[in-house]
Amino acid sequence: FGSCVYRSRSVQYSSQLRSSTTLTMSTEQPSAAACVPGGKCVPCESLDKSHLLSPQQVESELASMQLWKLSDDNTNITRTYTARNFQAAMDSLNAIGVIAERENHHPDMHLTGYRNVEIVLFTHSLGGISLNDITMAKMIDDEVRFSYSPKWLRENPAAKKD
C-alpha cells in the first residue's frame, strides 16, 4: 500500500572544529507525502486545485466503497460505525492513526457515545476531496481490523469482511 517515496534523509552538517566537519546523518520523519491510487505518492504540497475531484468523480470512486458517503456539501467523505465497545473504538482510531501518520494524510476522527465513530476525510490544503482521500479511505477499509457492535454489523452487512 502506498509505497510512498519519502524524502528520507536530511543531512545536517555541524562543524565542531574548523579542521573537521562532523557529518550527522539524521533520518527525518517521512516527509509530507500523500498517496494516490496505484501506490504512487505525491507530496501534499504538490497538490493544487486541479487535484480536486468533482462530486461525480467522488461518487464513482465510492461506488465500490459502500461504507463511505459523500457529504451533502461535497467537501468530504465520511464513514461512521459503532464499535463493540469503547476499547474497540479506541483501537480502531489508533490503527487509523498509524496509517495517517505513515501516509501523512490525516482524517478528522470523532468518538461519541463511547463507541460511535465518525471518520472524515478531505484534503486540508485544498479544502476539498482529492484522490489522496480516496486512497486513505481504501487503506482504512483494507488494513484496519474493526470490532463492530454485533447489532450494527447486522444492520450494515457491507462492513462484513469475509
User: At closest approach, how far in Å is the CB of 58 from ligand H2B?
Assistant: 15
Residue closer to ligand H2B, measured from CB, 40 or 106: 106
Binder among 35, 42, 44, 53 for ligand H2B (CB under 6 A): 44
Please report where in the chains the cell 476499547 appears, as a residue: 87
Q: Which three three-digit cell numbers place residue 112? A: 461519541
25 CB-side CA count, 13 A = 2
Residue nearest ligand H2B, Cβ-based: 32
35 binds ligand H2B (CB under 6 A): no
Phi, psi of 110, deg, nearest 5:
-125, 135
Within 10 angstroms of residue 96's Cβ, the number of other Cβ atoms is: 22
User: At closest approach, how far in Å is the CB of 133 from ligand H2B?
Assistant: 7
Within 10 angstroms of residue 91's Cβ, the number of other Cβ atoms is: 17
Please report where in the chains the cell 480536486 appears, as a residue: 52
Binding track over 101-140 against ligand H2B, x by CB under 6 A: ---xxx----------------xxx---------------
User: At closest approach, how far in Å is the CB of 102 from ligand H2B?
Assistant: 11
Helix (H, G, I), strand (E, B) or coil at 82: strand
Query: Which residues contribute to the site for ligand H2B (CB under 6 A)?
Result: 32, 44, 104-106, 123-125
